[in-house]
Amino acid sequence: MFEDKTLVCKDCGKEFVWTAGEQEFYASRGFENEPKRCKECRAAMKGANRSERQMYDAVCASCGKACKVPFQPREDRPVYCSECFAKMRQN
């Protein structure tokens, strides 16, 4: 049903093979579009997005320990560390 396809990366222009196994995986997840980037460019995009995220120092309103959060804390809203936040979400 699936056959290997040669595609061209939209970022680097290099040809890459989209294997039958990868196509089957995409189909099982309900994805309809072919990949636009090669594995190297996809990995570079993921790495770039993570390194650009700015983290802010905060103090957890529940346990009082220092933590880092991905948003600018405000005085009028409590900030929770990841452990306390997870506990709150479970309740």
Query: Looking at the structure, do residues 12 and 47 belong to the same domain, yes or no?
Result: yes
- Are both 47 and 70 inside the same structural domain? no
> Both 10 and 35 in a single domain?
yes
Confidence at residue 52, expressed as pLDDT on a 0 to 100 scale: 66
Give per-residue pLDDT as tens, 29-82: 999 999 999 999 998 888 766 656 788 999 999 999 999 998 999 989 999 999
- Res. 24: pLDDT tops 70: yes
Give the domain extent around 73: 56-90
Domain shared by 62 and 83, yes or no: yes
How far apart, in whole angstroms, are the C-alpha atoms of residue 74 and residue 81?
15
If one counts the domains in the chain, the total is 2
At 19 the three-state DSSP class reads coil
Nearest to 67 by CA among 79, 49, 52, 53: 79
The confidence score (pLDDT) of residue 54 equals 85
Q: Do 47 and 60 lie in a common domain?
A: no
pLDDT at 48: 65
The reply to whether 39 and 63 lie within a common domain is no
Q: What is residue 3's predicted lDDT score, i.e. its pLDDT?
A: 96
pTM of the predicted model over 0.85: no
